[in-house]
Amino acid sequence: ISYFLARINMLPIIKSWKQQTEFVNDAAHELRTPLTIIQGKLEYMLTKPNKTILDEAEAISVSLDEVNRLNSLTNNLLVLARSDSATTKFNFELTTPEFFLKDPIEPFKDIINSQSKVFQISLNHHPTLYLDRDKIKQLLIILLDNATKYTPKNGTIKIYDQIEGSKYQFIISDTGVGIADSEKAKIFGRFYRVDKSRNSNSGGHGLGLAIATQIVNIHHGTISVRDNLPHGSEFVVEFPIKHM
């Protein structure tokens, strides 16, 4: 049957429909978990006799955590849905790295230091690029946030840049938990997490790198991951340089 479907050019439509269904399924699943927890806590508050203030405080605190998770999940879903849509407006302009790298890096200096980790910044190039600066800032936040999340205390997170032929690269490297070769391609997919139980503590839904990939694709760039030996990962983002 796929032969006939291919002949009338239906395969891409069916594939994209299948992907949409999978996406809705995964999204519903991710939404259901926090909602079930909040529902349980509310029912408990309403029905449990003789509860103490401590019981109540615990139920409220757990519910609030779950509401925060729901908030970040729905924000991420909106970002993905908007960048899928043809109507999304991008604000492309000629720019140089200092105009989009500095802002997102600043807050991470404090966060990383407060967690007893080292943050090294070595940005030395100033090529002209044609980018939507806000989108690139968002991409950088995703990568720095991951590097911070998956690097234990005393680790090092580094951002540096280089020029490779007609491409500009910025690289975020960490000395964290690392990513197995068999997982490297998968982590850029929607809702994919290497270790679900580990990541549920750090609050991830597996959407960050999917959003990062979409942002990079829109800019005709690439994103990839490699090992940072002896341990950790390096995410390499590459954009074409505009020769004026």
Chain residues binding ligand ADP by CB under 6 A are: 142, 146-147, 150, 174, 176-177, 179, 187, 192-195, 199, 204-210, 233
Nearest to 220 by CA among 97, 135, 119, 131: 131
C-beta neighbour count of 84 within 10 angstroms: 11
User: Residue 199 CB, nearest distance to ligand ADP (Å)?
Assistant: 4
Exposure letters 58-81 (e unless 16+ CB within 10 A, then b): ebeebbeebeebbeebeebbebbe
Give residue 31's identity as a one-letter amino acid code: L
Q: Given the complex with ligand ADP, which of 38 and 147 has the nearer CB atom?
A: 147
Beta strands in the chain (DSSP E): 92-95, 118-122, 129-132, 156-164, 167-174, 222-227, 233-240
Residue 119 or 129 having the CB closest to ligand ADP: 119
Task: Judge contact between 143 and 173, C-beta under 8 A.
Answer: no
Minimum distance, C-beta of residue 99 to ligand ADP, in the bound complex (Å): 25
Residue 39 or residue 75: which is nearer to ligand ADP going by CB? Answer: 75
| Sequence-separated (6 or more) residues with CB below 8 Å from residue 201 | none
* Choice between 33 and 199, CB closer to ligand ADP: 199
136-148 core/surface letters (b: 16 or more CB in 10 A; e: else) = bbbbbbbbbbbbb
Provide, rounded to whole angstroms, the least separation between the CB of residue 73 and ligand ADP.
10
Coil, strand, or helix at residue 163?
Answer: strand
Min. distance of Cβ 154 from ligand ADP in angstroms? Answer: 16
Q: What 3-state DSSP class applies to 92?
A: strand
* Residue least distant from ligand ADP (Cβ): 204
Give the nearest distance from C-beta 202 to ligand ADP in angstroms.
Answer: 7
* Nearer Cβ to ligand ADP (177/218): 177
Tell me whether residue 171 or residue 194 sits nearer to ligand ADP (CB atom).
194
Minimal distance, residue 144 CB to ligand ADP, in Å: 9
